[in-house]
Amino acid sequence: MKKKIAILGSTGSIGKQSLEVIEKNPDSFEVEILAANNNIELLASQARKFKPVTVVTANEQKYKDLKEMLQDQPVNVLAGKEALEQVATSEKVDLVLVAMVGFAGLIPTLNAIRAGKQIALANKETLVIAGEIIIKEAIEHNVPIYPVDSEHSAIFQCLKGEENNEIEKIFLTASGGPFRGYSYEKLLNVTVSDALNHPNWDMGNKITIDSASMMNKGFEVIEAKWLFNLSPEQIDVVVHPQSIIHSIVQFRDGAMKAQMGLPDMRLPIQYALNFPNRLHSGFKRFSFDDYSKLTFEKPDSKIFRNLALAFYALKRGGNMPCILNAANEVVVQSFLQGRIRFVDMPGFIEKSMQKIKYIKNPVLNDYLQTDKETRLLTDSFIRK
């Protein structure tokens, strides 16, 4: 039987590539729900092509226009934050691909888990913010979470068949982004255009800036803790500019397993959608002739302080990663708007981490309140 898929964030980079995978495998997958935020033109086009039962725009002001665009289609059109948070609980949905950006992915993911839906998780912020709650609920409802990030998918693939073998350490690989090797002085003059020019991956604006600042890798460190039940000491980061080795697991006997391949997000997406079986693909294959050398180096967490801040948040626990994420969302948006410099971002984040009340054992409402307070405080710092 075809697996019925709900895609939350269908107009973003991961959402679009997911639809490519589904289009290539019509006997395996069927689109049940498409949800997006503001890009209703693309959402409407996707709806016409993939014929979902329901489409949702999170922006209520876009509802009328989206409804008109799809008036000749047999599709249920919904709008608003609450509709987005609830739509993934549909009885007909088998798997929910969470490809939304930032804090907005938390409640829809939580609701989908409570409804017993399989989760393909591309929204790393969900586990950064409230990993303890998400994993607890997933265990309680017997819901699998399949990682879509290339690094976590690599670890996930390396652990297949190793369930009884102890992990000594994992190494998350990082490309180093467009500013690898830059000094602080050189970073002073980088532009938004420079930061959006990632050498290996084609991603949305927010995650591309996070990659340039190394915050994306910091988030992946926190996400890995929850996905694979690791301590901070078991997680390391290594810069691998070629992005061929996507991550590595080291076992207690010293043996290491790595997952390799060309940088193409469709592969981990397809693996997550159809786990545990691998589907044939026409993706370009890796050739050793094209890569005479694979290199590795330590990340510079003094220049790229976001990585150090993420490790601190992970070790502190509680609501500290939530503070980290909320402050980062504000500074990234401010940088994209030209309000602050690239090098200013870690300072504003650290200031918020120092000022917002620390809660050692937060509940869901604490995370919601922390997120709200942190955004307001970080924005006030920027406005001064």
Q: What pTM, to 2 d.p., does this model score?
A: 0.94
Alpha carbon distance 172, 243 (integer Å): 11
DSSP sequence for 135-196: HHHHHHTT--EEE-SHHHHHHHHHTTT-TTS-EEEEEEEE---TTTT--HHHHTT--HHHHT
**Which pLDDT score, from 0 to 100, does residue 201 have?**
67
**Which pLDDT score, from 0 to 100, does residue 382 have?**
96
Domain boundaries defined on the chain: 3-143, 151-263+285-315, 317-384
Neighbours of 201 (CB within 10 A): 17
Per-residue tens of pLDDT for the chain, all 384 residues: 899 999 999 999 999 999 999 999 999 999 999 999 999 999 999 999 999 999 999 999 999 999 999 999 999 999 999 999 999 899 999 999 999 988 899 999 999 999 999 999 999 999 999 999 999 999 999 999 999 999 999 999 999 999 999 999 999 999 998 999 999 999 999 999 999 987 776 677 898 999 999 999 999 999 999 999 999 999 999 999 999 999 999 999 999 999 999 999 999 999 999 999 999 999 999 999 999 999 999 999 999 999 999 999 999 999 999 999 999 999 999 999 999 999 999 999 999 999 999 999 999 999 999 999 999 999 999 998
Give the tokens for residue 289.
């002739």
**Which pLDDT score, from 0 to 100, does residue 207 have?**
87
Alpha carbon distance 70, 78 (integer Å): 12
**Which pLDDT score, from 0 to 100, does residue 189 have?**
92
What is the fold of 317-384? Rna Polymerase Sigma Factor; Chain: A (1.10.1740)
**Which pLDDT score, from 0 to 100, does residue 137 have?**
97
What is the fold of 3-143? Rossmann fold (3.40.50)
Reported as a single tens digit per residue, the pLDDT across 159-217 is 999 999 999 999 999 999 899 999 999 999 999 999 998 777 667 789 899 999 999 99
Alpha carbon distance 170, 297 (integer Å): 15
